[in-house]
Amino acid sequence: MHLTPDTVAAERDRVRERADVVVPLVNDLRTEFSELFDTDVDPVTAAAYRDEVDAVFADGDLAVNVAALVGLLRGLDVETDYPGFVVDELLGRQLAGMIAGGQPLGLLGEAAFHYADVRHHPPDATAGSDDLDAALAAGFQTRLPGWDWTEGPSPFRVD
């Protein structure tokens, strides 16, 4: 893999174009998390997703790493999948955490990845492609606003 500013921009465009798959998955996750955690989580629009993709890729240091993981997952397949499932899980988890942001959001993105991954298995998916969608959904659902606990100052802040 050879990364250049042009390949990073191309990966950004591919990630933006996945809105038709990723945004419904984000909203499914948020609906399930709302029920599981007895809270309201706002849905995400395709426009908000694309804007946040642009924000991730506007940070060059983050963008090159996200682009590398996206490219690796996009091209990854493993014969009979099971023997190599660890690598797609590792890459997906890292991508979700990276997109979600610093701690504690990074860890929440990684946890959400596993939840999304067990629910998302399109029939024509490769080992990496379904994990790519799950990672994008988990990372962006964590990063995007809509969670009440992330709105406003933390009650644990010490003044």
pLDDT tens per residue, range 67-120: 999 999 998 887 776 666 788 899 999 999 999 999 999 999 999 999 998 887
DSSP assignment of 135-148 = HHHHHHHHHSS-BG
Q: pTM for this one? A: 0.93
| Contact between 73 and 91 (Cβ < 8 Å) | yes
Average the pLDDT over 14-24 and give the result: 97
Q: How confident is the model at residue 63 (pLDDT cuts 50, 70, 90)?
A: very high
Give the CA dihedral 7, 13, 27, 40, nearest 10 degrees: 80
| Contact between 79 and 49 (Cβ < 8 Å) | no
Tell which wins on pLDDT, 41 or 149. 41
Q: Which amino acid is at 104?
A: P
Domain ranges of the chain: 5-148
